[in-house]
Structure 1
Amino acid sequence: FSVDLDGYTFNESNWKYVYYCRIYDLYMFPSLNGVLLSIDDNRTDPLNPSCFANQTRNGTRWKYGTSLKSSLTILANSLQPNQTYQFMVYMENRQNCSTQATGYVLVTVGTIDSQMIAVGCVIWTMCTPNLEFQLVNPTTQVALFSLCIGDCDNIQNITWNIYQGTTNISSNSTQWTLFNQMNINENIWFFGWNTSNFTALNQLFLNNPQINLWRFQVIYGFTLQASSSALNFVINQPPINGSCSISPYNGTTSTSFNISCSNWLDEDGIKDYSIYAWTTDPQERTFISFSSVSIFQVRLPSGDDQTSLLHLIVQIRDTLDCITEYNMSSINVLPDTLGITNLLNNLQSSSNALANDPTIQLLSSGNQNIIGQIIGCLSQQSNKMNSDAIDQAVSSGIPAASISVSQLGSTTSQGSSTPLNATALIQYKKDLNSHANLREYLMTFTTNLDISTSNNIKLQASSLAQLTQATNQLTRTALTLALDKCYQLSLALYSMVTKISYEDVQIITTQLIQCATNILTAVNGPLQQRTDILDLDSSRATAFPTDYDTDLESAWSNPNLFSDGNDFSWETIQQGRNTYYQKQLANQVTTKVNQILSLLTSISNIQLNIGQNLIINTSSTFMSLETISMKSLSNKQVQQVGNARINIPKNFKSNISDNSTVSLRKMSGLILGKNIEELADNFSLGPGP
C-alpha cells in the first residue's frame, strides 16, 4: 500500500482524546501536582474549579458522540449563562504516542437561542493552528469567510470587527481591545466589512509590528438577536539574526555565483531561500532561483546597461511560509556576448559542436533552477540584441511597422526618411532567424519540467515571459510549445490557489498573462504583415510532407487552400501555405489564450474580496480585475491605459440583483493592424466569487 504524505485525510479511530475545560478569564485549567484534570476526573482543584463544579455524581452534563470519544456534546443547562468557557482537547496517535495535537475553543453561553456562525480562512494554509490561536504571516493578507448554520433567512446585516490583544499572565487569558483604525482604512487595508467575507491586507500587520495578537470577529444581525464568532491570530515570527553573502562580486551571465546564508533562526525551521534581482526599480524584480539548502550557486542576468550593477534580494522562508527579506551586496554582472555568439553559431553547425557547447550541457542537466537561470540570462541578452537590431534597421530605412510590434503605451514611431539600405535588411533578417532558432531550441527544455510547487511555477512562468518577449522571433513550433506550457502552468496554479499566498498568486499571474499575450501578438504578427515570416516556418510549410502518399485528406495537397483567388502560381501557393498554417495556429492560440485568461481570472477571484482590485501592467498588456457590488456598477467610470475609459450608464440594467457581487475585468492588449497599432479594450462582467 502507499501513503500520501501530503494528504490531509483524518481518521478519527487513529487517535485517543482527552478533554479539559476552564472558566475563561477567571481560572486556569484545573490541575493537581502539575497534572491537568480532565472533565472525566472526579478530583477537584480548590484554586481552579471545574466548569461542571455543581454537577452531582449521578448527573450527566456532557456525552461523547462515539465510543472513540472523538466528539463531545455539552447538554443543555450544563454551563452558567453569561460566562465564557475554554475547552481544550488533547489528541495522541494510537500507533505513535509521540504524535500529538492540542486544540482549543472558546464558548460564550448566552441566555437566548442564537444561530451558529462559522468562521474560517479562504487560504487554509495561511492559518495554521497554534494552540488556541491561528498563526498568521505578517507579510501576507488574511482572507476570511463566514457561514450562518441553521435557520438563516432573516439576516439583517453583517459586521466585522478587529481587536488587538494583550496577554493577562495571572489568568492566562487574553484581553481584547477594539482596533480603532478600521473606519479610516476601509477599502484601503480592509475589504468586505459588511459582507460574509472579509480581507485585511498585510499593511495591517506591517504597520503595527508591536501588536502580536489579533482577533477578527463577525457579527450577524437578525430580526430579534445577533450572533457572532471569531478567529484569534498570533503573528508568526519570521526568520531572524542571519545573513547572506555572495561571491565573486564581479562576473558575467555565465559566471556561477556562490550564495551562502547562515545563522538564520526560526522556531518552525527554515523551508527555503529564494533569490530576486533588479536593476533600476526594486518593484520590478525578477525571480532567479530557489533552494532548500543554505549554500548554493546561481547564474545571474546582466546588470544595469550603464553601470552593470545588479541588486539582489534573498527571501528566507520558514516552514509556515513566513518570509524575511535580506538585501545582499550589489554586484557587477556583464553580458557574456561571446557565449551567446558561440551558441548561435553552434546551432547552425554540426550536432557535435552543439553537444559540446557548455551552455547546452547545462541545459541538458535537467536541473530546474539551472535551466530557468540559463533561459532567463539568454532571453535577456537576446531581447536586448533584438531591440538594438530593430533600432538599427529602422535607422537604415526599414519601416518599424513592418518588422516589430512596439510595447503597450509606447510612443508611436514616426518612421525614418532614410533610404532603405538593402544590406542592412539582409543582415537584420539573418540575425532575426538566428535568434528565432535559438528561442525555439530553448523552448524545448521547458516542456517536461516539474510544476508541482509554487516555486516551480513561479520560476517557469518568469522564464516563459522573458523567452516570449521578442514577439517577432517566435516560430510556430516555439509558439505551440510556449502556449501548451503556459496553459499547464495556469492549470497547476489553479489546483493550488487555496494553498499559496495572495502575493505569490499575483507574481505568477502577472508572468502568465504576459506570456499569453506575447504569444497572441506573435502569432498575429506575420498575418498582419507587422513581423517577418521566419525561415523555419516558411521551410516547414513548403516542405514535402512525409505522409503525402498515405494521407489522402492532407491539406498540403489541396492548392485551393493556398491560392490567392485565381492565382495558382508556384510563388503564390508557397506563400499561401505559410499563411494557411499561420492562420490555423492563430485560431488555436486565440482559443487557448482565452482559456488561460479565464483560468487566471478565476484564480484571482478566489483571493479578491469586494472592493479589492488586482492590476497587471506589463509591456504587452494591461489588466485590472476587481470584485464590486452590482449596485456600485451603475454610473461607474472604468479607466484604461492612457486616457482611454469606459463609462457605464447610470440606468445600467441587469438581471443580477443589486446586492450581488460581480467580477469586473478590464483588459487592454495589442491588436495588430497593417499600418497602425491599436489598443483593444476588453470589458467583461461575470458572477463574483
Structure 2
Amino acid sequence: WIISDLDNREKWVILNISNYASFGKADTLYRTNIGHLKLDIISKKKISIGMKNFSKFSNELTIFKDLFLENLNDIFRIEFTVKTISISNGISLGSASLFLSVNKPPKNGSCGISPLSGFSGSTIFTIECQDWYDSDGFVERYEFYINFLNNHKNLTLGFSEIGFFETVLPDGPSFDQNKINVFAKVIDNLNSHSIYSLGPVTVSLNKSDSMRLIEEIEQDNEESVIKQLLHESNSVHTLRNLIAFVFSLNELSHIDKKSLIESKNNTNLFLTTFGPKTNISFESNFEDINTIMANFLVSETINITSKDYETKRNIRASIREKLVNFISNISLLDVASVKFKSDLLSEITADSSEVTRETSIQAIQQILSILDTINLIEEGIYEQDMVDIVNNLANTMANILQGLSTMINERQPSLHLDYIRANIPPSDYDTDLENFWSNPNNFMNDDQTEISDQIIAENKNILIQKLQIGEAILAEKKIIDTLAINLAEYSSLGNPIQISTTSIQMSVNRIRASDLDVFLFEGLGKIELPSFCDLVGYNQTTISNFSNYFDWNDLNNCTNELLTVQIISKASAPSGFNSDNETKIGLSNSLSLKFFNSKKIEIPIRNSIKPIHLFIPRDPSVSFPEFYFVNTSEFDNSSQFLANQFILSTSNASLHINLKPLDNFTGYLMTIKFGSMPVIKENLTNLDKWEIFCPNEEQFSSNGTFLFFMNKTEVNGFKGFVGVGIRELNTDEFDQYCISKIKSKNQMPDYVPNITFTNDFYLRFYSSGCYYLDDKTGWWTSHGIEVMPDTNEKYTHCMTKHLTEFAGGLVILPTEINFKYVFANASLAKNLVIYSTVIVLTCVYFLFVIWGRYQDTLDSNKIGVCLLKDNQPLDSYFYEVTVFSGSRTNAETDSRVTIILSGDCDDTKPRILEDPKRKCFRRGGVDSFILSTYQKN
C-alpha cells in the first residue's frame, strides 16, 4: 500500500490511499485511526472535530487544522487499514502508517512601515521586519502584499530575503478614505508562515504624477526614466513600482466613467462588475438580487464630455497595450514572480473597455506562459499561492472577453487603435486580387445595399473583432478548465475553493455525486439541478455509454462517482458572433456549470432526464423601462378593443407583456396576433393567443401586475409586426370568469362590439431569450432551451437539459406609438391633419414610383454588350473585349481608354472603348465591347 498526496496546508491535511494490488472487481473498505507517538491510539470520537472521513468506502481522509493547532508540539501517527472483498481472492487485509508533525511558523518578530500616508506613485514607503525566529528551520523570505476594504484579493507588492523593502503604493479606494491594508508574510524554508498586519496606510491619488507618466509612455520618449526601466529590466524588484501606476490608471478610468454617467444620466453606458467599486458585495447572491443597487463609487467627479472621455479612453488603451508588452520581460523563475506577473496582468486589463485586440492577444500568450511555468515549478505551489494566481489569471481572461465584447454589445464605441489597424491594407494588397480583406463586397450590410467607405471600414473592424472573440473563447475554455483542475487538487471533499474577482466568480468543489446540492449559487445567479444520475441520463440501458467517463466501483450506482464541480458566473456574457444583431445578450451576466471525473476528464451533460433550471441575472446597472401609462378616459366605446402594435426584432425569444391596473378589482381580456391586428367578430376570430386576467390569481403578481407570456415555442421564430388588443371584462364577464367561475378561462368571451374602460392601467412590453454558447463556433444559440414565465427585469429563468455557458437576452419593445386616438378619434373631422398627411405622403409615394420606373428604363438601356462606333460593315473578324474594374477605393476612371490589337501580320489603329449610353469603367464594374477588324491580304 502506498500513501500519496500529503500536503501541509493552511486549512487541512488531505491523505489519499492508493491501492496498487489487483483484485479485479472488489469492494474496498477503509478505516483510519490517529494517535500520538508512543501513546495509545485515540478514538475517532475524541478527534472528530478535526477529521472528516466521508464513508467506509472513501479512500480520502481530511484532517482539519484544528487538531494540529491544539497540539503544535506533538507527533501524530496515522494508521490506515484497508479490507478488500472479492470473489476471486476472498477477504484481504492491509495496513500502512505514517508520522506527521507540525512545522511551526516563524514568530516573535515585528514589522513596521513608514510613512503612514502619502501619494500614489511618488511617496517611497519603507517596510522593515526584524527579530523573526523559526524554531525548526529558518526564515527564507518575506512577501509583502496589500488589500482593500471588502475586497479579499491580495495584491502582491514584491518580496525580500532580508525583510527590508522599499516601494511606492497605489492609491487606496476613494470609498474608504484612500486606506490600504498592508501585510508582511514571513515564510520559512518549509513554507510555514506568519502574517503580520502593518495596519492601514492612507495613499491618495497623485493625478499630476500619473498624467506625467502617461504622457511619457504615450510619447515613446526613450530618455524617460519609466521607459528605460520598463525596457531594460526583467527584475521583479525593479518593476514592482509599476503596480502603483497601473492602479492610478484604473482610478482615472473609474473617475471618468462615473463623471460621464452622471453628466449623461445613463448607467447603461458601462458594464457593472462585481465588487465594492460598483457597490456589489462579493458575498451577494441570488437571494439579494432584488435589493442590489449598482453604483460606481468614487470620491470625486469631473466635468467631461463624451468626446473628451473617448479621447482619454483611447490614450489609456494605448498605455495598457504598451504595459502588457513591457511586463513580458519579467522572468518567471519562482512562485513569487508568477504571482507578481499575474497580478500585473489582472490590473492592466482591469478596465475591460480599454483593452485593445493586441492587448488581449499578448495577455493570453502570457497567461499560457504562466501555466507552463506552474507545471515546471519543482518545489510545488501551496494552496493560498495557487488561489491568488488562479484569481488573477481567471480575472484577466474574463477582462479580455469583456473588453472584446464591449463594442459588439454596443456598450461603448470601438477603440481607435483597433479601428485603424483593421483598415490597414494587407501587405499583398497590390498583388493578391483575391485577398478577402481587400474586397469591400465582403463587408456590405446584410441587405447588400450600396454603402459608404466609412460603413465598409466599420463592418471590417466588427468582423475582425468577432473573429478575435471566437479565438479568445477557445483560449478561455482551455485556460479556465486548466485553472479549475489545478484548484481541485487543493480542495478536500466537500470544501469548495472560491474565486471572487471583479469580472468573474468561480467555485471549485470536489464531492461525491450523492452529495450534489439541488441548488447551486454563484455570483448573483442560481442553478437548480436534479440528481447527478438524472443529469447524465443514467439508466440500466445506458451504462456502457459512460465507460469513457466513469470508474465506478459499483456500476449499478452512479452516485459513487467522485466529481469536481466547476461553477462560473461572469459579470458580462462574451458577445460571440451574433450577439450584436440577434441575441442581445449584452445586458446579461453569464452562468456555466461543468463536471469533471477523477481522471480530470469533463463529463458531458447532453440530455438530462429531468430539466435543469438556471436563473441568470441581468446587469444590475441596466435601467429597465418604466410602465407606459394608459389614460382610458380618452377612449370612447366605438371600438371592440384598445389596440397597440410593436415590432418583434429577435427570433427564438419569448414575449412578455405586463399590464398593471390602478386597482385590484378589474379583469381583462388580452389578445395577440402575429403579422396583423387581432380580429374578433361574431362569426370570425383571427388570433394567435388570448388570455383572461382575473385579480388575485396566479397571473397576478405580488406587485399587482398581470403577465401575458408567450414562450419561445409559441412565438416560433416569428419576427416582425405584432398586434395587441386589450379590453376590460364587463360586469357579467367578471362575475362569470373571476368570481363565480361558471365559465372556464379556456372559453372565449362573447363578442362585444363596443368596449368600456372604467380603470386606467400601465403597460410594458419586452422580449427575452435564453442562449448557450457553442465554444467551438463562437455562436450563441437557443436550441433546446426554454424561457420560463417568471423571467423579469432582474433575471432570466431558463430551462434546459444540457449544460454549457448560458446567458439571457433582453430587447425592450418600444411603446412610443400613441394609440390612444387610433379608434376613439377615427373620423375625418377629428383627424383632418392626420388624413391630410396620409394623402400627401401617398401622392409623394406614387410620384416616386413613376420616377423610379423611368430611371429603371434608363438603366435597362445600359445593359448589354456595346458595339464600338468605329466598327466597319465589311469587317469579318469580331472580338469580345471584357474589362473588369477593381473594387478598391478610386478603382475607376473618367479617362478615354483605347486598345490596340496586335497580330502576326498587322496591328489595329487605337480603338476607343466607350459606350454612348453610359459611363464605363466604374468601380467594381464589368464592361463588354464588340470590336471588329478586317483581314489584311
Same fold at TM > 0.5: yes
User: In the alignment, what sits opposite 1:296?
Assistant: 165
Counterpart CA distance in 2 for 1:637 and 1:151 is 39
Structure 1 window deviating more from structure 2 (265-274 vs 157-166): it is 157-166
Q: How does 1:432-581 map to 2 (within 5 A)?
A: 432-496=313-377, 499-550=380-431, 554-565=435-446, 566=448, 567-581=450-464
Secondary structure, aligned partner of 2:408: coil
Deviation, 1:155, is 5.3
Secondary structure, aligned partner of 2:215: helix
User: In the alignment, what sits opposite 2:74?
Assistant: 212
Per-residue CA shift, 1:27-77, capped at 9, x if unaligned?
xxxxxxxxxxxxxxxxxxxxxxxxxxxxxxxxxxxxxxxxxxxxxxxxxxx
Q: How does 1:629-668 map to 2 (within 5 A)?
A: 629-633=512-516, 636-642=518-524, 644-649=526-531, 652=534, 653-654=537-538, 655=546, 656=550, 657=552, 658=558, 659-668=560-569
Out of 174, 177, 201, the position equivalent to 2:42 is 177
Deviation, 1:434, is 1.5
Counterpart CA distance in 2 for 1:316 and 1:537 is 45
Deviation, 1:472, is 0.5
Deviation, 1:660, is 2.3
User: In the alignment, what sits opposite 1:384?
Assistant: 251
Per-residue CA shift, 1:483-534, capped at 9, x if unaligned?
1112222232244498221222112111111111111111111111112211
Counterpart CA distance in 1 for 2:112 and 2:140 is 19
Structure 1 window deviating more from structure 2 (145-154 vs 309-318): it is 145-154
1:619 partner letter: T
Q: 1:345 to 1:516 in 2, by over 3 A?
A: same
Per-residue CA shift, 1:413-464, capped at 9, x if unaligned?
699xxxxx99711111111112111111111112232223111111111111
2:315 partner letter: S
Q: How does 1:416-435 map to 2 (within 5 A)?
A: 424-435=305-316
In the alignment, structure 1 residue 310 sits paired with structure 2 residue 180: yes
Work out whether residues 496 and 507 of structure 2, in 8 Å CA contact, stay in contact via their aligned partners in 1: yes
User: In the alignment, what sits opposite 1:244?
Assistant: 111
Counterpart CA distance in 2 for 1:508 and 1:612 is 19
User: In the alignment, what sits opposite 2:36?
Assistant: 165
In the alignment, structure 1 residue 396 sits paired with structure 2 residue 277: no
Deviation, 1:184, is 4.7
In the alignment, structure 1 residue 263 sits paired with structure 2 residue 131: yes
Counterpart CA distance in 1 for 2:399 and 2:588 is 15
Count residues in correspondence.
542
Counterpart CA distance in 2 for 1:304 and 1:587 is 35
Work out whether residues 35 and 78 of structure 2, in 8 Å CA contact, stay in contact via their aligned partners in 1: no
Counterpart CA distance in 2 for 1:193 and 1:271 is 41
Counterpart CA distance in 2 for 1:272 and 1:262 is 12
Counterpart CA distance in 1 for 2:530 and 2:310 is 47
- The root-mean-square deviation of aligned C-alpha atoms, in Å, is 3.1
Deviation, 1:302, is 2.0
Q: How does 1:224-373 map to 2 (within 5 A)?
A: 224-254=91-121, 255-266=123-134, 267-281=136-150, 283-305=152-174, 306-349=176-219, 351=220, 354-370=221-237, 373=240
Q: 1:157 to 1:675 in 2, by over 3 A?
A: closer
In the alignment, structure 1 residue 601 sits paired with structure 2 residue 468: no
Counterpart CA distance in 2 for 1:466 and 1:186 is 39
Work out whether residues 372 and 463 of structure 1, in 8 Å CA contact, stay in contact via their aligned partners in 2: no
Give the alignment's TM-score, normalised by structure 2: 0.54
Q: 1:348 to 1:679 in 2, by over 3 A?
A: closer
2:42 partner letter: T
Counterpart CA distance in 1 for 2:190 and 2:72 is 21
Q: 1:154 to 1:534 in 2, by over 3 A?
A: closer
Counterpart CA distance in 1 for 2:274 and 2:370 is 25
Q: 1:372 to 1:217 in 2, by over 3 A?
A: farther
In the alignment, structure 1 residue 119 sits paired with structure 2 residue 3: yes
User: In the alignment, what sits opposite 2:12?
Assistant: 141
Q: 1:413 to 1:610 in 2, by over 3 A?
A: closer
Unaligned 5+ segments in structure 2 are: 86-90, 281-291, 297-301, 539-545, 553-557, 600-937
Deviation, 1:234, is 1.1
Per-residue CA shift, 1:123-180, capped at 9, x if unaligned?
xxx4xxxxxxxxx56x3632322222434457544335352425xxxxxx56543454
Secondary structure, aligned partner of 1:313: strand
Q: 1:302 to 1:355 in 2, by over 3 A?
A: same
Structure 1 window deviating more from structure 2 (289-298 vs 469-478): it is 289-298
User: In the alignment, what sits opposite 2:885?
Assistant: none
Computing the radius of gyration from Cα coordinates, the structure with the larger value is 2
Per-residue CA shift, 1:590-619, capped at 9, x if unaligned?
111111012112212333343232222222
Counterpart CA distance in 1 for 2:57 and 2:73 is 24
Secondary structure, aligned partner of 1:582: helix
Counterpart CA distance in 2 for 1:264 and 1:422 is 51
Structure 1 window deviating more from structure 2 (469-478 vs 448-457): it is 448-457
Per-residue CA shift, 1:538-588, capped at 9, x if unaligned?
111123344433556644312233221323420111111211221121111
Work out whether residues 273 and 291 of structure 1, in 8 Å CA contact, stay in contact via their aligned partners in 2: yes
Counterpart CA distance in 2 for 1:236 and 1:423 is 57
1:327 partner letter: S
Sequence identity of aligned pairs in percent? 20
